[in-house]
Structure 1
Amino acid sequence: MPSSGPDFDRERRVAVAAAEEAGGLLRRRFGAAHCLRTKDESGDVQVDLDLAAEKLVLSRIRRHFPDDRILSEEAGLLDAPGERTWLVDPLDGSNNVAIGLPAYAVGIGLCLGAAPVLGVVHEPVTGLTWHAVRGHGAHGSAGTLPGPAPGLPRPGPVVAWTQGYAVRRGDVTAVALRGALELHCRRVLQLWAPLLGWSLLARGTIDAFVGYRAEGVDLPTGALLAAEAGVELRTLSGAPFTPGFAGDDSGRSFVAARGETLAYLLREVGAVA
């Protein structure tokens, strides 16, 4: 993909350093995490590491970009004038950490208005970091990410699934979508850490990602990473999908894939959505 537009190099370097510093803390303290509270009826939890990692990330962003707005998973909106908004998920996968499952990530994004321009995903367990700037491709430690192959894999695609915490267990659409995916895909991954799904998709180790009323704070970060790796983003009806963080969650349902896999999944989800 040819480079175009500003490269946000300073912002990228600050975000990568912040994500990796927070990831080091999470990795060191993983086995000693304590659940502080249950956030809502969905059972989503907050652990002490959420707050510790968030403190590190917010400190770095505020020090380097004091005039920018920040929307963070735990602290909420730290408002400021202007069109730049940082999105911070200091521990994506808190529920996994709370039960000792080592599947979690740190996500930091930057949006101009509603549009993501920078996305960083760090995986503390592996120590790997993936980053993308709009118009400049997606990259990891080995260089540019190739993205998934465009052909439809046999006997079917491996697909990640996410749904927002506001979606109730018996939600008719969510149940129908998951059922269609289970029936027509080789494997459906419910990671409870959406940024892991996006990083897997961006580097081509899974074939697609389907979301229903996804959470907004990490969606633009992960979606930009995948899009810059050549993944197409569509709504459940097949229209172009814009990954935003504002407003209600009704506009945050998507199918992300490439080529024949995208067409295949749109047919399957379109029949039930």
Structure 2
Amino acid sequence: MDLDHARTVAVQAAEAAGALLLEGTRGTVGVQAKGDAGDVVTDLDLASEKLLLERILTAYPSHTVIAEESGLVGAAGGEWTWLVDPLDGTNNVAIGLPAYVVGVALCQGGRPVLGVVHDPVSAHTWSAIRGRGALSAPAGSPSGVRLAPPYAPSPHGPLLAWTQGYDVSRGDVAAHALKSALELNARRVLQLWAPLLSWAMLARGDIDGIVGYRAEAVDLPAGALLAREAGIEIRALDGGPFEECFDGTPEDRSFVAAHPRAMPRLLSLLE
């Protein structure tokens, strides 16, 4: 498998989808209810996903794809699986807030080996190949610069992002306890409704950490791989090892992510 070629395919597909989204948000966006938890889907989600599926399956017709709206495309259990989030930040788009990205990951045996996050608003793309670092580049650029977020602690506490899965209820006791601990000890806690955007911000060094609770399987691997390859450490909530796989249970997708030197302090906030 030529991962450099796969990155080129993923980046070009994500940027094309991003151009579609950017143009679409300038007009009226059709919004429909999705599920029973108050989530929504837009016509832009569907159009972006259609484009991404066509690009990926044209390049890799024997691979499996799991997409946010379409679900499983192709046979399950193969060696290579693509994860597609065509519009991470749908609720933001629905209310006219320009905070959304496109995410694509390629997994081998359930483990991400390639991650791409594209921000149509800033026209910037971040990508990573496992073991080869993470890159930041303007959209359309054939090259990029290595991501290496600095360690810059604040005496006023960390700036954190919180993300949780769609199935987490308002009455979830563990989620409430975690969020309360963060609100009491952090300088700010962002809830962006776009987890992949939070991962890109962490990889760049714009925020100090992310705490995730039962995160969604489709968008977690691309963002987590991007951050890890930039030098970010990711642990389970109890401080144990964490693997950014898309399979497993929702409990397996609860985590703390931060610069390695910031990790002990962040874990202590959650005790």
TM-score class normalised by the smaller sequence:
over 0.9
Instruction: Name stretches of at least 5 consecutive residues in structure 1 with no aligned partner.
Output: 1-5
Looking at structure 2, the residues matched to 152 and 7 of structure 1 have their Cα atoms a distance apart, in angstroms, of 39
The 5-angstrom pairing of residues 92-241 of structure 1 reads 92-141=88-137, 142-149=144-151, 152-241=153-242
Letter in 1 for 2:197: L
Runs of 4+ off more than 6 Å: none
Deviation for aligned residue 1:133: 0.2
SS, match of residue 262 in structure 2:
helix
Aligned to 2:34: 39
Deviation for aligned residue 1:52: 0.4
Looking at structure 2, the residues matched to 239 and 148 of structure 1 have their Cα atoms a distance apart, in angstroms, of 24
Of 58, 61, 64, the residue aligned with 1:66 is: 61
Kept after mapping to 2: 8 A contact 1:88/1:109: yes
Looking at structure 2, the residues matched to 96 and 158 of structure 1 have their Cα atoms a distance apart, in angstroms, of 21
Aligned to 2:141: none
Deviation for aligned residue 1:79: 2.4
Query: Relative to structure 2, which stretch is displaced further, 78-87 or 179-188?
Result: 78-87
**Sequence identity of aligned pairs in percent?**
57
Q: TM-score, normalised by structure 2?
A: 0.94
Looking at structure 2, the residues matched to 196 and 47 of structure 1 have their Cα atoms a distance apart, in angstroms, of 19
Looking at structure 1, the residues matched to 16 and 28 of structure 2 have their Cα atoms a distance apart, in angstroms, of 17
| CA displacement 1:176-196 (0-9 Å, x = unmatched) | 111111111111110000000
Looking at structure 2, the residues matched to 259 and 13 of structure 1 have their Cα atoms a distance apart, in angstroms, of 30
Looking at structure 1, the residues matched to 88 and 267 of structure 2 have their Cα atoms a distance apart, in angstroms, of 27
RMSD: 1.3
Kept after mapping to 2: 8 A contact 1:116/1:134: yes
Instruction: Name stretches of at least 5 consecutive residues in structure 2 with no aligned partner.
Output: 138-143
Kept after mapping to 1: 8 A contact 2:168/2:214: yes
Report how many residues are paired: 264
Looking at structure 2, the residues matched to 148 and 100 of structure 1 have their Cα atoms a distance apart, in angstroms, of 32
Deviation for aligned residue 1:7: 6.3
Matched, 1:23 2:18: yes
Kept after mapping to 1: 8 A contact 2:31/2:94: no
Letter in 1 for 2:235: R
User: CA 1:191–1:13 in 2, change beyond 3 Å: closer, same or farther?
Assistant: same
Letter in 2 for 1:84: W
